[in-house]
Amino acid sequence: MKKRKGIKGVALLSVATTLALATAACGNSNDANNGEGASSSDAGGKGTVTLTMMHPWTSPNADNDVYKARIAAFEAEHPNIKINQDGVAAAQYKTKLFTLAAGNNLADIDVVWPGADLDPLVSGDLLLPLNDQMSNWNELVREDALAGFNKNGNQYAVPTKQNFVDIIYYNKEMFSKVGYDTFPATYEEWIDAIKKLKAAKLTPISLGNKEQWPLQSSYMSTLTQRFAGDDFLQNVVDGKAKFTDEDFVKAVAVIDELTKLEAFNSDANNMDSVQAQDYFIQEKAAMHITSATVNARIRIDNPNGSKFGIALFPSVPGGKGDPKKAAGVPQFGIAIKSGLSKEKQDAALEFMKYFVNEDLYKDLSKAGIMVPTKKNVAGEGEINPFLEELMKLTSNGSTRVFDSVIPTQPSKEFENGLQALTIKQGTPQDVAKKTQAALDALK
């Protein structure tokens, strides 16, 4: 009898616990649903609005410091608006962005990429069109830089910097050691220099291709333009050309040739891009091909910066593209999530006006970063000579970056194919064929 009573008690207790848990869970989900409105009063006194912002500014870069300082300055000047930052490492950023987008869970303010990467966000109506706000930026930002963030006549984001992805940084001492006092101007000379560097027991090119984008973005954007011309990638997307065309296969074959010459460090596929920069900065390799952002790290902030020169990829035999052009992309577009409450949307626009303005462009320029502006933001003598040199090098027009034109799936297929070439698997024809097949599968 006594025992039974005890058991009854346990049963009752369990039911009570279950109910409590269930109601607690419901309560939580209600809170989450009301979160947008509720957080405004909960967070910190009257009228405080809390915004979430996701950005990829985590690694130690000159521009990342500027961006973060700007957010801090905004918060200091707007005590009623709080920015909750979600910093995601650059290599994982796009994956997280699109996963959150799929669950309709974007942060209130997001950093987005132009072109093919913006399309799914726009087609899902996830971003706020900024058309009636553009008077804030039309005077400041170049039209061509805004264009990548414009879809169907709507402006969805404003870029904060201009990047070029294909700058060749080279060690002047190593090149003069093998008889080149200036950077090779033609492809034949370049290959000759690589052979001589190799013979002198120097690693010709430091490459960190573990994340797979460097070969696709920094190498193949330019090589495609040099061999097949400016419009080739767009033509492929429009169905007017194919990856299997001879010119493109020739461009891919460069990676094959570099592999056969053993031009890259042997651990290229196990290193990330930052490790490859370190390699180059520590003078373990003669060249490193990567984005203009790194100019600050390799040359401006580095006491030995003057040892390193910059160049663009040389002209190629029979090439259809202008060898003076670099592959450029406006980056870090700031966008606002659609469907925010009035209060939050106003706060987000307030933030955007403050964040993307002349002062940001000025601060970035001073830190040695290029910005997509038509104004002369830096005063006389304020521009670092290394940045000036880079601006001059990239001032002859730009060609587009591979994955900003080609959709994600064929781009990923292409990255894997390129990586296969670096371990001597497959042929340039195979790579071209598979990339074309991945593009065709989308239609």
| Whole-number Å distance between alpha carbons of 273 and 291 | 10
Give the residue carrying structure tokens 């009301």: 34
| Whole-number Å distance between alpha carbons of 215 and 217 | 6
Considering the complex, state which of residue 321 and residue 410 has its C-beta at the smaller distance from another protein. Answer: 410
Considering the complex, state which of residue 65 and residue 283 has its C-beta at the smaller distance from another protein. Answer: 283
| Minimum CB distance to another protein, residue 93 (Å) | 12
Output DSSP code: residue 373: B
Considering the complex, state which of residue 312 and residue 421 has its C-beta at the smaller distance from another protein. Answer: 421
- Return all residues near 114 (Cβ < 8 A) that are at least 6 apart: 148, 149, 157, 159, 329, 330, 331, 333, 404
Considering the complex, state which of residue 74 and residue 98 has its C-beta at the smaller distance from another protein. Answer: 98
Give Cα separations from 270 to 240, 266, 273, 420 (angstroms).
37, 9, 10, 13
For 119, other C-beta atoms within 10 Å of its C-beta total 13
| Minimum CB distance to another protein, residue 223 (Å) | 19
Q: DSSP for 164-218?
A: ES-EEEEEHHHHHHTT-SS---BHHHHHHHHHHHHHTT-EEEE---TTSHIIIII
Considering the complex, state which of residue 267 and residue 322 has its C-beta at the smaller distance from another protein. Answer: 267
Tokens representing residue 180 in the block: 């080149």
Considering the complex, state which of residue 135 and residue 282 has its C-beta at the smaller distance from another protein. Answer: 282
Q: Which spans of this chain sit near another protein (rule: CB under 8 A)?
A: 3-4, 7-8, 10-11, 14-15, 17-18, 21-22, 95, 98-99, 101-103, 120-121, 123-124, 126, 210-212, 265-270, 408-409, 412, 416-417, 419-420, 422-423, 425-426
| Minimum CB distance to another protein, residue 276 (Å) | 12
Strand order in the sheet with 398-399: 161-164, 326-331, 398-399
| Minimum CB distance to another protein, residue 140 (Å) | 31
| Minimum CB distance to another protein, residue 167 (Å) | 24
Strand order in the sheet with 203-206: 203-206, 285-290, 167-171, 308-311
Residue 163 CA from chain centroid, whole number: 9
Helix H or strand E encompassing 226 = helix 221-228
Considering the complex, state which of residue 114 and residue 321 has its C-beta at the smaller distance from another protein. Answer: 114
| Whole-number Å distance between alpha carbons of 152 and 119 | 10
| Whole-number Å distance between alpha carbons of 145 and 158 | 8
| Minimum CB distance to another protein, residue 169 (Å) | 20
386 by Cβ neighbours in 10 Å (0-12 / 13-18 / 19+) ranks as buried
Considering the complex, state which of residue 276 and residue 312 has its C-beta at the smaller distance from another protein. Answer: 276
| Minimum CB distance to another protein, residue 340 (Å) | 18
| Minimum CB distance to another protein, residue 231 (Å) | 25
| Minimum CB distance to another protein, residue 443 (Å) | 12
| Minimum CB distance to another protein, residue 91 (Å) | 9
Considering the complex, state which of residue 48 and residue 259 has its C-beta at the smaller distance from another protein. Answer: 259
| Whole-number Å distance between alpha carbons of 138 and 6 | 76
For 303, other C-beta atoms within 10 Å of its C-beta total 6
| Minimum CB distance to another protein, residue 397 (Å) | 31
Considering the complex, state which of residue 243 and residue 386 has its C-beta at the smaller distance from another protein. Answer: 243
Considering the complex, state which of residue 315 and residue 419 has its C-beta at the smaller distance from another protein. Answer: 419
Residue 231 CA from chain centroid, whole number: 22
Q: Which of 406, 56, 28 lies closest to 234, judged by CA?
A: 406
